[in-house]
Chains A and B, each alone.
Chain A
């Protein structure tokens, strides 16, 4: 198993007021993303737990791209990875942010 962690500065705070969101499932080719609004507005962090060892560079690139596009300021995203492809990871990260930015029910 490998644990990775990336801290980034974000342009601005993620919208909305929800403090918690979760998406995905830990299954083969899939992943879950837990999002918590717990950081200062212009910071974000992505923590990953994965059984696929040695893909640090790929994660780094996917996450850097995600941060630049979505500006997830204030969010800590925690991932349990079931061996997902980079495009699935990118999709889930985007879904996760969209979810936490949604209005309360």
Chain B
């Protein structure tokens, strides 16, 4: 397993100085939209195995991916040739408004199919394996599936693995009173990438 950090501009020099203790980097796609910092992106892509992590594609919103967002995301992918891409099981925008926050999606069969279809569209457009991340939320939404069955169904339909955010899982387990280890066992270690 490769050990890495999330690339942030204030950490650039520290990352350079850290040598081979940093084995891979995750970059946030939106930080490089509109052609920003392309030379840095090229350099990082040449130096490290990269994961391109999206915050705002809003896989949980109704309809398909927004073409302008997808175009920007693909541009970042083409610039750094990542080994993986990732997004969240969440919605971040309504039809008209970018909420700027990762919001939970009711765990229903219909939403699992919606998110999986968009996940497949994203992975296909980027020609890269996708992972989907669990979010933290103060809300516990109810649907016809529980959270672990919802995530498993999405991953199976989208043929992708779960980007397990251990801290999000831990926080949810503390705030909502469930056993994080049992949650992981329900998801299954083989689904975690």
Q: Do A and B bind each other?
A: no
